[in-house]
Chain A
């Protein structure tokens, strides 16, 4: 029984660090989720980040590939030229060691 309690304590101490990143938030004001973008236009990603206690900066991903590292927590970022079709744009809050802290926001857009 004592061993079982010890095992539970150890497992709890291992699992506890995974439940953090409170107070972090990502708002993407443009483009809106589901928006149609003109491939000929220069499209901008407008965002507002609350990093929380663990976050430091953000990484931007286009279709799963990292395209930018942004240290400005509120602003806009010019998106790379989009090929026609559906795309997923994601922002992940990362810590000082560039590790995603588990807070991300993704939108889907269609480039025409």
Chain B
């Protein structure tokens, strides 16, 4: 059993489902306007961004555990990682704001649009990070 690859793969599975939650949740919220549905979707998106942050950090932790080093990334990859981290921070904040600040319908819709953009940006940055590291 290759525990190192198993650990990376398990983390990747969690990270992928986090990505589905943040993008899918925000897109669904733009389509379904009912308050109860929106509240559930806010929780899903909030959990999704938290999952993204924790699983992203876990990739680095696995590398450090096995090699006492973090991934060696430079240039464009570092920029992509910073964008991903910023998306996670803002995404989590906006999702929490949707849940706890009780915004107006118009503000809520704008926030969901921002959350959609943040999700798409994070997904795009992930591809850049993966191949330009």
A residues near B (Cβ < 8 Å) are 17-18, 20, 53-54, 59, 65-66, 69, 92, 94-102
Contact = CB atoms under 8 A, between A and B. Distances in A.
B72 A101 contact: no
Interface of B: 2, 4-5, 8, 59, 62-63, 65-75, 77, 132-133
Contacts of B66: 17-18, 20, 99
B72 A59 contact: yes
A68 B27 CA distance: 38
A94 B72 contact: yes
Contact of B67 (A53, A59, A65, A101): A101
B8 A96 contact: yes
B74 A99 contact: no
Contact of B73 (A17, A18, A98): A98
A60 to B, nearest CB: 11
Pairs of residues from A and B, 8 with the lowest C-beta to C-beta distance, nearest first = A99-B63, A98-B71, A98-B133, A66-B74, A17-B66, A99-B71, A97-B71, A99-B67
B133 A69 contact: yes
Given A54-B4, A59-B72, A66-B72, A97 B63 contact: yes
Contacts of B59: 97
A13 to B, nearest CB: 11
Nearest to A69: B133
A53 B77 CA distance: 25
A17 B4 CA distance: 9
Nearest to B65: A17
Q: B59, B62, B69: which has the most chain A beta carbons within 10 Å? A: B69
A99 B65 contact: no
A101 to B, nearest CB: 6
Q: A18, A20, A92, A98: which has the most chain B beta carbons within 10 Å? A: A98
